[in-house]
Amino acid sequence: MAKKKPPVQKNQTIELTFEDLTHEGDGVGKIEGYPLFVPYALPGEKAKVKVIKVKKNFGFGKLLDVHEASPERVEPPCDVFFQCGGCQIQHMRYQMQLDMKQKQVKDAMRKIGHLENVPVHPVKGMKDPWRYRNKVQMPVGERDGRLVAGFYQKRSHNIIDMDTCVVQQESNDRMIEAVRRIAERYGIEAYDEDNNRGILRHIMVRTGQNTQDVMVVLVTRTKELPNKDKLVNEIREAYPSVKSIVQNINPKQTNVIMGKETTVLWGEEYIYDTIGDIKFAISPKSFYQINPTQTKVLYEQALDYAELTGKEQVVDAYCGIGTISLFLAQNVKKVYGVEVVPEAVSDAKANAKLNKIENAEFYVGEAEKIMPWWKAQGLQPDVIVVDPPRKGCDEELLKAMIEMKPERIVYVSCNPSTLARDLRILEDGGFETKEVQPVDMFPQTSHVECVSWLKKVKLT
């Protein structure tokens, strides 16, 4: 039997009606049952599309002209939205973004976790879904003899020169532009990644949303930084809110932004910010949530699901710099945090001390190895909280959680697919997923965060 050929060819121009969205926010249209994925198209729209890639079971297209626009379509406020890879869905009305993300979570629960009956609530969004990011790191390049700073174009390392980013705090925009201008005036060369030459690789700015403390980090290829003192003095004079100016040295030819060596050029080693009643010290390499407004929403949901009375012992796996642990500590008997990154554990201990919290202990190590040891020592947690990276929980960690038999598990996730996979394993291990609450931590992008609530199944 001859294989059926796709009904379209590369570079063909076709008329297409869109009926759905992918999890990345691309429009889905079908021609003779063959799906084409097209960025920036919305369900219900009719458009002219150029076919740019053809595979056996699906293809990709480029939107040329929208003949019938969806009422959900809005004009993106960002001038470089269609070139930059930072945001994917600025062209959608905000409520549609939230609905899309809820559907993404529901689909993952059903298709990956086989959890058809788990309630997935509407996504908790922001009143003002712009200017929320407290950290920006921009690559620096050279064009026509001048320094440029911006984000990479989609699927490339071409830098889009930009003056403003509508999801960054405005003060960060101004700082990046000021540092770029001052560095250019003092003849500091941009890093050339093709030839591994030049000096300035990235400019990073972190701002405490509630304190307005500012940290500037200059990521350089070399220890040498020409006119370093003049650069520092000019930044300080222009922006008195700057509390810390730091140089990070990364000599390697790599996509990893920061190197191992960090030197404080002026000011403090840390800046500070608060989420709720907890104060955090933030270093250049600290993992600290980039949207503190929604982080508070996320953590309050986690506390709610933990059902704390003040008597519980809690394990926080993947504790980072102690953000969730310290929230929990205010409402429990004891928190045990574990994290594989030693610097993060040092930060967590410092943050506990900063907040005079004495019922939180932090350990360096892999949670899947530390937790069985805790169990052998007789630790029986009432609640386990996990907030893993995008790849989800290690299988050994899930096994350790099941064997510890806590009353409740609170699973915070930034990836619905790996969340659904892990919930299935926990369900098979004797837990029931009661509900999932998505939270919009990253408006204008296709990413969604979730808090899941699991309870130990009572054997009858």
- The DSSP H or E segment spanning 386 is strand 383-386
> How much is the mean pLDDT over the chain?
94
Q: For residue 459, what pLDDT is reported?
A: 66
The three-class DSSP label of residue 227 is coil
pLDDT tens, 410-443?
999 999 999 999 999 999 999 999 999 999 999 9
Query: Is residue 103 included in any domain, yes or no?
Result: yes
- The answer to whether residues 296 and 445 belong to one domain is yes
Q: Is the pLDDT at 390 greater than 80, yes or no?
A: yes
- Residue 144's pLDDT band (cuts 50, 70, 90): confident
| Percent of the chain whose pLDDT exceeds 70 | 99
Q: Annotated catalytic residue: which of 78, 165, 319, 414?
A: 414
Q: State how far the alpha carbon of 279 is from the alpha carbons of 184, 321, 326, 360, in Å.
A: 36, 12, 9, 15
Query: Is residue 17 included in any domain, yes or no?
Result: yes
CA atoms within 13 A on the CB side of 372: 8
Query: Is residue 1 included in any domain, yes or no?
Result: no
pLDDT tens, 159-198?
888 888 999 999 999 999 999 999 999 999 999 988 889 9
Unique residue bearing structure tokens 């403090």: 268
pTM of the model: 0.93
Cα-flanking dihedrals φ and ψ of residue 280, to 5°?
-125, 135
Q: For residue 352, what pLDDT is reported?
A: 97
Q: For residue 297, what pLDDT is reported?
A: 97
Q: For residue 345, what pLDDT is reported?
A: 94
pLDDT tens, 367-377?
989 998 998 89
**CA 83 centroid distance within chain:** 20
Q: Which residues face 207 on adjacent strands? A: 214
Contact (Cβ atoms closer than 8 angstroms) between residue 336 and residue 315:
yes
Contact (Cβ atoms closer than 8 angstroms) between residue 225 and residue 247:
yes
Mean pLDDT to the nearest integer, 445-455 = 98
Mean pLDDT to the nearest integer, 48-65 = 96
- Residue 353's pLDDT band (cuts 50, 70, 90): very high
Work out the number of other CB atoms within 10 angstroms of the CB of residue 130: 16
Cα 303 from Cα 312, distance rounded (Å): 12
Mean pLDDT to the nearest integer, 135-139 = 94
Q: For residue 409, what pLDDT is reported?
A: 98
Cα-flanking dihedrals φ and ψ of residue 246, to 5°?
-130, 145
Q: For residue 325, what pLDDT is reported?
A: 96
Query: Is residue 27 included in any domain, yes or no?
Result: yes
Mean pLDDT to the nearest integer, 119-132 = 98
- Residue 380's pLDDT band (cuts 50, 70, 90): very high
- The answer to whether residues 377 and 450 belong to one domain is yes
CA atoms within 13 A on the CB side of 114: 5
Query: Is residue 310 included in any domain, yes or no?
Result: yes
Mean pLDDT to the nearest integer, 24-34 = 95
| Percent of the chain whose pLDDT exceeds 90 | 88
Residues in the chain: 460
- The answer to whether residues 334 and 430 belong to one domain is yes
- Angle (nearest 5°) at CA 348 between 344 and 353: 150
Contact (Cβ atoms closer than 8 angstroms) between residue 316 and residue 328:
yes
Work out the number of other CB atoms within 10 angstroms of the CB of residue 136: 23
Alpha helices in 145-283 (DSSP H): 170-185, 228-238
62-70 LR contacts (CB < 8 Å, sep 24+): 62/38, 63/27, 63/38, 63/39, 64/13, 66/41, 67/15, 68/44, 69/42, 69/45, 70/42, 70/43, 70/44, 70/45
Q: For residue 86, what pLDDT is reported?
A: 86
- The answer to whether residues 242 and 299 belong to one domain is no
Query: Is residue 245 included in any domain, yes or no?
Result: yes
Domain end point (choices 246, 274, 302): 274
Q: Spell out a b/e string for 213-242, using b for 16 or more CB atoms within 10 Å of the CB, else e.
A: bbbbbbbbbbeebeebeebbebbeeebeeb
- The answer to whether residues 452 and 308 belong to one domain is yes
pLDDT tens, 196-254?
899 999 999 999 999 999 999 999 999 999 999 999 999 999 888 899 999 999 999 99
**Tell me, what CATH number does 392's domain have?**
3.40.50.150
- The answer to whether residues 337 and 269 belong to one domain is no
**Tell me, what CATH number does 55's domain have?**
2.40.50.140
Q: Which two tokens stand for residue 158?
A: 């071409």
Q: State how far the alpha carbon of 147 is from the alpha carbons of 170, 230, 265, in Å.
A: 21, 18, 22
Contact (Cβ atoms closer than 8 angstroms) between residue 313 and residue 356:
no
84 has catalytic annotation: no
Contact (Cβ atoms closer than 8 angstroms) between residue 161 and residue 185:
no
> Whole domain around residue 51: which residue ranges?
13-68
- The answer to whether residues 417 and 301 belong to one domain is yes
Q: For residue 157, what pLDDT is reported?
A: 81
Work out the number of other CB atoms within 10 angstroms of the CB of residue 184: 19
Q: For residue 154, what pLDDT is reported?
A: 78
Residue 449's nearest CA partner among 131, 21, 123, 167 is: 123
Q: How many domains does the chain have?
A: 3
- The answer to whether residues 51 and 158 belong to one domain is no
